[in-house]
Amino acid sequence: MATASRLADPTTPLADTAEVLADPGVSHAVPVSQMAPQIGAVFDSGGLNGAHHCTASVVNSPGGNLIVTAAHCLGSTSDVFVPGYHDDKAPYGVWHLRRIVVDPQWSASSDEDQDVSFAVVEPLNGRNIQSVVGGYTLGIDQGSDSPVTITGYPAATQTPITCIDRISAYSSTQLRIYCTGFTGGTSGSPWVIGSGMVIGVIGGYQQGGDTADVSYSVAFGPNVKALYRHAVSL
């Protein structure tokens, strides 16, 4: 889907639990008081003066400096990440990228099964991003039937949306979820299971989907694990 603080307990759903669970697959705006700081918007080089075109999230790493998103989201290290972005505000600062890591098959042919990217984030004011906003655990081979929460930034709004639903397998390499309103700008939105683990990001098939109500993700497996290991080594 191209051109998308409760730090102490990132496993809590991002919207009112009873409301969301009673209406799976229906998206809701995230109030600023319930925004997970690990999730943010990806802007072009203009930062807050520019446009946000994707979504990303912080993933736990030894260096405390990694975000994960879709590979088609990051054009260059001039992009910036704004965690917790809400209504034109950057409560945790604007973070610059030092290195973008994608699979060679993505670089060679935009292989939809490799539409995942990690980015190494520069420190800000002497601190790494994970120490400021926390992070999600990277989940590998977590299956294809879990209920997940997805949260992302439609390009046309300054407020993120969130949705809970159960995922399914679209193919042996791709996952699918039905959630309303995930339009352009939500590519890279993390798929988070209840343990605080990110098991996918909007991307993959049709760069995340060609309708607003059905989204896709690469199934995180050995290739994503190897990509993560490469990213943490940089």
Average pLDDT across the chain, whole number: 90
Q: What is the CATH number of the domain that holds 124?
A: 2.40.10.10
Say if 21 falls within a structural domain: no
pLDDT average, residue stretch 208-216: 92
Among 21-30, 33-42, 78-87, 164-173, the minimum mean pLDDT is found in 21-30
- Does residue 213 have a pLDDT over 60? yes
- Residues 3, 136 contacting (CB under 8 angstroms): no
Does residue 126 share a domain with residue 42? yes
- Does residue 10 have a pLDDT over 60? no
Residue 62 domain boundaries: 37-135+225-232
Does residue 161 share a domain with residue 131? no
pLDDT digits (tens, 9 = 90+) for 172-199: 999 999 999 999 999 999 999 987 999 9
Does residue 49 share a domain with residue 110? yes
Is the pLDDT higher at 10 or at 91?
91
Say if 201 falls within a structural domain: yes
Q: Going by C-beta distance under 8 Å and a sequence separation of 6 or more, which residues neighbour residue 176?
A: 167, 168, 169, 170, 205, 214, 215, 216
Does residue 88 share a domain with residue 115? yes
Q: Please state the domain count of the chain.
A: 2
pLDDT average, residue stretch 116-124: 98
Say if 31 falls within a structural domain: no
Does residue 71 share a domain with residue 55? yes
Does residue 131 share a domain with residue 63? yes
pLDDT band at 44 (very low <50, low <70, confident <90, very high): very high
Does residue 163 share a domain with residue 78? no
pLDDT band at 203 (very low <50, low <70, confident <90, very high): very high
pLDDT average, residue stretch 35-43: 97
pLDDT band at 73 (very low <50, low <70, confident <90, very high): very high
